[in-house]
Amino acid sequence: MIEVEEISKVYTQFKRSSGVLGAIKNLVSREHTLINAVNQISFTIKRGEAVGYLGPNGAGKSTMIKMLTGILVPTSGKVTVNGLVPHKHRHEIAKKIGIVFGQRSQLWWDLPVEDSFELHKRIYKLNDAEYRKNMNVFLELLSLKDFINQPVRQLSLGQRMRAEIGLALLHNPEIVFLDEPTIGLDVTAKDNIRAFIKQMNLDRKVSILLTSHDLKDIEEICPRMLIVNKGELIFDGTVDHLKSNLSMEKIITIEFVIDPGHDFEIENAVIMDDYGIRKTFKINKGLNSAIDFIQSVSKRYPIKDFTLQDSDIEDIIRVYYRSLEDVSANGSNQQKQMSVV
């Protein structure tokens, strides 16, 4: 479905000197920096697969999506979507993909929501039966019937995002690119959208590439995760695999009978929160170590209750990035930017 082979995208960023002398210098000699937004990344996404594409700001996520949709031309490497080169076959690719940008809209602002769907029906040349079939699904599962006749400008953010996702799926695309589809939404709206996307992936076998800073989106929708950092692919595997390899800590919250005070120290543990008789600790992973820790504390201080949990996915991602930064600081990673005159 999607095949990416050693793909790179390099931007040239010119340096501008300030002041009158700087302006003259810019005319005579212009320094520039080559920035590897995407650096020799390779991966494959099969039909019906849901994949999360993660990375910090500036990691090259949007650049990758723009190359996959044909908006940008790669500097080097090869990319095909459904057997077609995106930037050479933009019209053919557009018929087979759907795109949702959390901060941009495909809906007509002053028109009723239904008018935008009618327009897309004509753009993609859907017949009446196919259009009505899809609309019935969206009206029910996305609850579009509650606001289908309202102007888009009157919708809440959650309502607009439901309409955006329905619009992206109206023409039965084989691949859907979702860029921050739940940004700014409340908990209930996020849950509804995640459930719908997951159902479309399972029922219609729609391939999904999802970028999001809300890692709950990735956990609930995408079994597989790609992580990029500084333009490079640093992880390709399942969410469970990442957790099992990097979740080296457990979180224990203990409620004491009497407040042991703020000055006490416990070996092999770090106090994360301290609310008097209720304190939260972070310890090394492993059930035995957790039991040993509880027993060690209980011998010194009476314990009323405790709870045990694993580090969440956001903590795990932070640990992964931190480990890469440590490697980079030791000189093991090559510099990814260079200046030339």
With beta carbons less than 8 A apart as the criterion, state whether 121 and 87 touch: no
The C-alpha atoms of residue 17 and residue 260 are separated, in whole angstroms, by 60
CATH topology of domain 2-96+173-244: Rossmann fold (3.40.50)
pLDDT, tens digit (0-9, with 9 covering 90-100), for 277-296: 888 887 766 556 677 888 88
| Closest by CA position to 249, among listed 306, 289, 219, 294 | 289
All CATH 3.30.70.1150 domain ranges of the chain, comma separated, are 248-310
Return the higher-pLDDT residue of 272 and 91. Answer: 91
The C-alpha atoms of residue 53 and residue 62 are separated, in whole angstroms, by 10
Cα separation values, 54 from 57, 64, 90, 212, 247, Å: 10, 11, 25, 7, 18
pLDDT number for residue 299: 84
Second CATH level (architecture) for the domain 248-310: 2-Layer Sandwich (3.30)
**What residue ranges in 257-313 does DSSP mark as E strands?**
269-275, 278-284, 303-310
With beta carbons less than 8 A apart as the criterion, state whether 46 and 1 touch: yes
pLDDT, tens digit (0-9, with 9 covering 90-100), for 234-244: 889 987 777 66
All CATH 3.40.50.300 domain ranges of the chain, comma separated, are 2-96+173-244
pLDDT, average across residues 204-229: 89
Kindly state the tokens that stand for 173.
């695309």
Q: pLDDT tier at 266 (50, 70, 90 boundaries)?
A: confident
Task: State whether residue 148 is helix, strand or coil.
Answer: coil
The C-alpha atoms of residue 208 and residue 211 are separated, in whole angstroms, by 10
**What residue ranges in 196-335 does DSSP mark as E strands?**
207-211, 224-229, 232-238, 249-256, 269-275, 278-284, 303-310
pLDDT, average across residues 84-88: 94
pTM: 0.73
